[in-house]
Structure formats: structure tokens, C-alpha cells
A and B are shown apart, each in its own frame.
Chain A
Amino acid sequence: MNNKNYALILGIFLAAAVLITPFSLWQVWFGTPIYDAAFGDSLGTLPVQRAGRIMPLSSASADVLRQISGRTSSKTSSGDRLSSTNWLWRLAAYPELSSKDPVFRTDNRDLQKLLGAKGRYYSYSQLLDNYEEVYAGATSGKTPYAEACTEAVESAIAYALASNALIPRFSDTSNAEKSLENWKEAVETARKEFESAQKEKREPNPEKLSEANRTLQLLKECSDFEASNPDSILRVVPSLNGEFSTPTAVALDRKSGEQPNKIILLYSQIRDAIASGNKDLAYSKLVQLSDMLHSSDSVDWFRIKLENLYNLADPFFCGFLLYSLSLLFFLTALLVERFRDSLKTIAVGLLSFGTFVHVLAFCARMYIQSRPPVTNMYSSIVFVGGVAAAMGLFGYFKTLKSYFGVSAAGVGFLSLLVAMNMPYSGDNMGMMRAVLNSNFWLTMHVVTIMVGYCGILLAGSLAAFRLVANVFDKGDFGLATGETSRSVYAILCFALVFAFAGTMLGGVWADMSWGRFWGWDPKENGALMTVLWCAAVIHARALKLCSDRIFLSLTVLGNIVLAWAWFGVNLLGIGLHSYGFTDGGWLWFGVFVLCNLAIAPLGFIKYKKVDSN
């Protein structure tokens, strides 16, 4: 066996190690199969409806956590790590203890100071202690502090809703099953009192109604609070007609004499078992609950289980690690001549696995959502990164040139880095608003244009890599530059076809839905700018107006135009394409622009040998 084969085996071994990392980390950190199991029943696989979408509890809880802390796991005040599912159940089982956990995050120094936060994180009780001041701060204008306060208030609402998500809200929080029983008895007592009062033609005795009244009041308050935040609540109780409700709403709706809804009874029993530390009992109740839920048709279990597995396997994080390692090996291979071939083999192995996982993950998202791959900003980044990496990998296998591999790994790495660090903007597999509720047009316009963007991004990174590499090649890079520029040109032509078709199909869609082909909306302008720039660069080379080096520089500048069309215009916050708007991000946009501005002038570095043109 030669070195290359050893390298290949090592690469595969490394990739496999990375792929099981999230699973193993999960075990080491969280390690409780009752909350999170990859395949069997767990508390994380219970079906929940949030903002109209039916998802596993692990997704819903992670989404709430992401909103309040920016992460999908939490830490208790004693420093233990909890998975999102575990956190949500802890919230129900130990409300007092959980309120001391530092799960809220703010980056605003003034708010941190006001709340007495340790670093960026603070607890619910810290927030409650200062709620009036925070609330006043939220209405104090448009300063960063006010925005931070608004976020804190919204997070507090999400937290409060989540704390009542699994069991109905009763005044006695120590035993959920007993509270449910008490509520049943109170209603029964009140009913009997009303009946006998009616029979005896007297006023009902207020004392006998007081318990029912008090609880009714509490449930009603909670239910009104839920009704005013319809897109943030977790509905865990499916009914026969496929509609989901919250436990509080179900408890409130109960007619006297009726048995408590079996689902909320089981939820309450699980909660009590967890609170008393009896995990075996909790698990047996979970199995009962799962069996009961399985018998109803309103839930697509395969989808739920797949999404739960997707949450646990964290494929984008795996992809990110694989791309990073691949980049590392590629760059080392470029610097170290001795083991170059072996290092390159390992790098390509890692890159192949990374791309595979990346593409597989967005295919899983497509299946879970029953939508084309791009439905919002997050998915557009993930899709473009994945497809560009796959195109780069294809280019590598076709030409065996390192620059394809490096660019593929670079684009994949960058896209997943951005996707993982995007500010929270709701469930990233959320339901489509009316105007976007068309798989046909999402595919025709959005996916087509994104394939175009893949090409521009890949071409841009190939060009950037070449120009930077030229600095290290001591003047002897005429051949390599010519070669890269031919590849870049081919990819740009491909990109132009798709970007043009996608943009213009957007015009046709706009004509169908808004009655105008083109309205010079910022997002349309951005798309047009990319097409025009792409066409300009292609014409400059095709009509022989510039050298290969300058052509590469112009392609690098195309990255800026692309970033503007993709992210920049969303930061402006005007126009009809408001479903893509994002907050913040100017800083990172600026960094990206500056990097490209720094690389583009490298095209002026001249060859030592005769220009290939």
C-alpha cells in the first residue's frame, strides 16, 4: 500500500470521527437518553406545533432557547450543560431553580450592568427584579440600549410562554397531577353548588365557588397571554381534527365532569416524575404518551423523528468542522512539499465528506419542510455554500487542481460559519407567508438565482485564491493565472445564465403577483447589479479588453456586488422583499467588502515571465 492509500484511510477515519462528534459531545455533555434519543422515543420527539409548523419538541425548545440566549443548549447556575429539551422540562419541573439559570443573553453593556449580569448572561429572576426599568428602557426611543431592552422583554415573554408549555398553569406548582385533580374537583364542587342553589332557589355560596374561581382566573389570564402571542407559543396537545392546543387552553376548555385530557394528564405525570427524580417512571409514562400520540393521524412521525435526528446530528456543524480541517490540510499541503500528495488526499477526503453531509442536510430540510431548498436567508446561505462546494469538488475531480479544492472548502466553510452565527430571526424552517406560498415560483425564481450566486461565489473565491497565491509564487505564476482564469470564465458564464434566468423569472413572478415585471425594488436592483457585473466581467475578457490578472481582480470585485445583492440590500430595510430582512450585520458585511477590496489590487502584481495573454 502506498502513502496515498494510507492518507485516504486516514482522511476517511478523520471524517468519521468528526461526524460522530456532535453525537458524542451530546452524550458527554447531556447524556440523558430520556430527553434526547437519536432513534427511539424520547421527550425530545414529542410533537409540538409552533407558528403553524409541527415539529419535535427538541426543535421547538431549541428555537425558544435560540431566541433568548442565541444558543441551542443552556447552562444551569451550577454550571451543568442541558440540552434544549432537558431545559424545557426543567423549566416545568423546577420553575424556581430554572429562574436562577443564566440563560438570557444581551451584548449591551448598559443592560448587563442594570441587570447585574455575569458577562453576557443573566437569569429570568434578574430580569424580573428589574422588569419595570427594562420595560421603560424598551420604550425609550431607538438607541442600542432600547433595542436591547426590547429584546429582553420579548425574551421574557418567550420564556414565560415556554414555562407553561408542557403543563397547565396552576397556583400550586409542586405537583402537576394533583393540581389537575384539584381543578377537576373544584369545577365539580362549583357545579354541584350551582345545581343545589338553583334547586333550593338561593344564591350560590361564594366560598364553595372560590377555589374554582381563583383557578379559572389564573388559567384565563395565562390563556389570554398565550392568545396574544400566537406565533411564540408551543402547542403540545393534538386533537382529533389535527388542531393543536396548549395545556392551559385545554384545561380551561374542560367541561365539568369530564376527565382531564389524557395527554395533559400524562404530560403532568411525566413532569412530576422528573421533579421527584424518578426517571424510570418518567420513561414509562413517556412510552404511554407516545403510544397514545402515535394512534392519532395528525402527526407525520417519520418527519418528526427525522427532524429530531437532524437536531442531534447537527450536520452543519459537522460540515463546518470537515471544511475547516480540509482547508487546514490543503493549506499545509501547499506549504509542505514533502507530503504534499498525502496531505492533499486527506484534504479531499475530508472535503468530500463535508460536502456530502452539507448537501444531505439541506435535502433533509427540504423533506422536513416539503419545500424547495431556499425559503429564507438562512437556507439560502446553506444552499449556496453546499452547491458551490459541490461544484468546486466536481471541478477538483475534473482537473485535480488544488485551487478548486481550496475554494470549495473555503466557500463551504464560510457559508456554514455565517449560517451558524446568524442572528435569531424565527424558526428557520418556518411556514411561508402568502406571497411566498408557491413551491413552483420558489423553485423557478429563488433556486435558479441561488445557483447563479453559487457560481459567482465559487468564481470569486477561485479568483481570490489565485491572486493571493500569486503573492507567494515569486513572479512565476503566468501559467497558473491563465489556467485559473479559464476556469473562472467558464464558471462565470454558467453563473450568468442562471443569475439572469433567475432574476428575470423573478420579474415574471412579480408580474404574476404584484402586476409589474420590474419595480426597481432594492432586492431587484441588487439582483440586476450582479447580472450586469457578471456580464461586464465576461465581456471584458471575451472582447479581450483586459489581461487574465485584471479579469481575476474584476471577478473578486464581483464578490462585493454579490454580497450587496444578497445581504446588503436587506440591511437597508426597504422594499417589498421584506421577508428577507435581517437586523445587524453591517460590521461583517464591511469586513467581507474590505477583504475583497484588499485582494482585488493584487491583480496588478506582474509576472516575471511573459504574460500568457
Chain B
Amino acid sequence: MKSEILKKSFALASSPKLTVGLLAYSVLLVFAATIAQTSVGIEVAKSEFIESFVAFLSIGIMEIPIPGGAAVGIVAFVNIIASGVRFIGFDTKGFGVSITHMALALLLLSGGLQYFMRDEGRMALRIGETSDIVVMSASQDSTRTHKLPFKVHLKSFKEEKWQGSNIPKSYKSVLVFEKGSEKIEAVVEMNAPAAFGGWMFYQMSFGEGGNVSVLGAVRNPARFLPWLAVGATFVGMLIIFIPRALQSGSVGSRK
């Protein structure tokens, strides 16, 4: 009896219908979240639709509860693992399928980890200013800050435009990280952040005609997990598809 229930729940967890259903449902959920973003903003829609177990779809005056992103993520994780066990194959294709899907499970997992482990804030520094305070969130009533274990000094900021235009070409801040007697100079540019003491610093914006540089400061121990997962998924996909593509006649059938 007990094994019967286990068998049935395993069959359900690894059901192909569940896989396709989840994928199709995710498309709709992400679509609903995108539409909601136009009215409540990106951040609110993200926490209501993606980071929640239950989201509420408002149609007219009705509020319909639907499974949120967190719920979908967990079910998808279970489904991927269970299907992986159920349909495991030991040829090249099976190997590729296993890698792809395990990597996707890792991607889902790392998405969850980012939610718990990632800290993000901003630092607005005037040229010549030194600070160790990162503003984590600011609203009208309160400002949450974080004190860094080191100091950041903005040595210079430069905004470059394409010659003969008003179109920005690059933004560049020269920072000096100061910890005790240690002083390290680093350049932060658009698309090229700098790292120090477990934090990454990004060029976000600037103010006061280029006298203030606004930096994004992020601490994320799980930063490379998605990179790894994505890379592994891609490799897995190549293992599945390259042998297929090499077989002649794979595009359409033969005459």
C-alpha cells in the first residue's frame, strides 16, 4: 500500500505532462508578471508573481489566486530530478539529457540561493570622498545601510561622449579600496566591475554634472553558480544535438 502511494507520487512527479504543463504555465506566469510590471513596477511585480508561492491575478475586480514563481520553481525542481531518474538513458543522448537537466536543476537552485544570499546596495560618492556605507534600501521613512569592512575612495570620474555628439561612450570611475594600510586602486567602467573584499562594484550612474559617481555594490557568494549551471546546460544540449545534426537528413526528411 505504502509503496503503491510512493509509486504513484513518483509517477506524478516525473510525469511528462507535468513537465510540459509547467513550461507552458511558466510562459503565462511570466507574461502576467510582465503585464503587472506596467502598473505596479518591476520590483513589486517581481515579489508578487515570481518570488511568491501564490500570486493574485486581478481581472476586473476579481483577484484569482494562481501558483507563484516560487511554487513553480520547486515543483519544476522536483519534476526535473524525478524525470531524470525515471528516463535516465545510458547512450550519448541520454548522457546529454542528464547533464542538461541536472544543470537546469542547479540553475533553479541557484536562482533560489541568490534570493537568500545576495545583497545589493548603492554608493554615491563625490570625487575625493571616502566612505564605507552602502545604502541597501531607501524609502521615505527609513534608510537601511550596511557598513563595509573597508573604505572606498572615489579618485576620479569621467564621462566620455562620442566625438561630435551627445551620446555617451563610456563612464569610468577610479576607486581606491582602503583596508588598514592596504590601498588598492581599481577602475570601474560600464560592463567592467571591480571586486574587493567579497563585494563587487558596478558603474551605475552619475550626478551633479559628473562630480558624483553612483556605484552599485553587490555581495553575492553564489554569483558564479548560475554561470556554471548555464555553461553545463549548454554543454549538455550540445551533446544531445550535435550528433543529431551530424546525421544527414536531420533537417527534414530525405526525398
Contacts and interface: CB of A to CB of B under 8 A. Distances in A.
The 6 closest A-B CB pairs, nearest first, are A52-B165, A52-B162, A536-B23, A543-B16, A487-B252, A399-B252
Contact of A532 (B26, B50, B191, B230): B26
Contact of B237 (A244, A496, A505, A508): A496
Contact of A539 (B19, B34, B46, B244): B19
A499 to B, nearest CB: 11
A395 B227 contact: no
A610 interface: no
B96 to A, nearest CB: 11
B218 interface: yes
Given A486-B253, A536-B24, A519 B42 contact: yes
Contacts of B237: 496-497, 500
B167 A430 contact: yes
A399 B162 CA distance: 49
A543 B20 contact: yes
B28 to A, nearest CB: 9
A504 B230 contact: yes
B42 A497 contact: no
Interface residues of A, number: 73
A528 B30 contact: yes
A520 interface: yes
B169 A434 contact: yes
Contacts of A535: 23
Given A508-B227, A540-B20, A543-B16, A404 B46 contact: no
A568 B83 CA distance: 34
Interface string A536-551: 1001100111000000
A44 B211 CA distance: 43
B164 A244 contact: yes
B251 A431 contact: no
Given A529-B30, A532-B23, A404 B202 contact: no
B167 A431 contact: yes
A536 B30 CA distance: 14
Given A51-B167, A525-B34, A486 B42 contact: no
Contact of A564 (B31, B33, B42, B230): B31
A281 B42 CA distance: 62
A504 B100 CA distance: 14
Interface string A395-409: 100111100100000
Given A434-B190, A522-B34, A486 B252 contact: yes
A487 B252 CA distance: 4
Interface string A212-225: 00000000000000
Interface stretch (A28-36, A73-81, A165-173, A510-518): A510-518
Contacts of B249: 398
Given A512-B193, A519-B42, 15 more contacts: A49-B163, A242-B163, A243-B164, A398-B249, A437-B169, A497-B238, A500-B237, A508-B227, A512-B191, A512-B192, A513-B202, A514-B216, A515-B202, A533-B27, A543-B19
A504 to B, nearest CB: 4
B164 A500 contact: no
Interface of A: 49, 51-53, 230-231, 235, 242-244, 394-395, 398-401, 404, 430-431, 433-435, 437-438, 441, 483-484, 486-487, 490-491, 493-494, 496-497, 500-501, 504-505, 507-509, 511-522, 525-526, 528-529, 532-533, 535-536, 539-540, 543-545, 561, 564, 569, 572, 574-575
Given A431-B165, A516-B120, A493 B252 contact: no
B171 interface: yes
B251 A398 contact: yes
A300 to B, nearest CB: 14
B245 interface: yes
Nearest to B49: A520
A395 B252 contact: yes
Contacts of B24: 532-533, 536
A517 B249 CA distance: 38
B168 A434 contact: yes
Given A497-B241, A504-B230, A533-B27, A399 B254 contact: yes
A41 B1 CA distance: 90
Interface in B205-242: 216, 218, 223, 226-227, 230, 233-234, 237-238, 241
Contacts of A532: 23-24, 26-27, 30
Given A497-B237, A511-B223, A522-B34, A517 B42 contact: no
Max chain A CB contacts within 10 Å: which of B26, B50, B233? B26
B131 interface: no
A51 B16 contact: no
Contacts of B71: none
A539 B37 contact: no
Nearest to B87: A543
B181 to A, nearest CB: 29
B170 interface: yes
13 contacts: A51-B165, A231-B167, A398-B252, A399-B254, A431-B169, A437-B170, A512-B193, A515-B202, A529-B31, A536-B27, A539-B16, A545-B16, A574-B42
A483 B254 CA distance: 9
A509 B241 contact: no
A484 B253 CA distance: 8
A516 B218 contact: yes
B114 interface: yes
B234 A501 contact: yes
A539 B20 contact: yes
A483 B34 contact: no
A607 B242 CA distance: 34
B38 interface: yes
B143 interface: no
Contacts of B192: 512
B251 A500 contact: no
A437 B190 contact: yes
A483 B230 contact: no
B120 A545 contact: no
A202 to B, nearest CB: 44
A595 B255 CA distance: 31
Interface string B154-185: 00000001111111111100000000000000
A242 B162 CA distance: 12
Given A486-B253, A507-B226, A540-B20, A569 B167 contact: no
Contacts of A496: 237
Nearest to A391: B251
Contact of A399 (B16, B26, B255): B255
B200 interface: yes
B103 to A, nearest CB: 11
Contacts of A438: 191
Interface in B2-31: 16-17, 19-20, 23-24, 26-27, 30-31
Nearest to A530: B27
Given A431-B165, A490-B250, A507 B27 contact: no
A525 B241 contact: no
A516 B46 CA distance: 14
Nearest to B245: A494
A284 B230 CA distance: 62
B230 A507 contact: yes
A18 to B, nearest CB: 28
A491 B244 CA distance: 12
Interface in B118-151: 118, 120
A487 B251 contact: yes
A395 B253 CA distance: 10
A399 B255 CA distance: 6
Contacts of A242: 163
Given A487-B253, A520-B42, A569-B34, A431 B27 contact: no
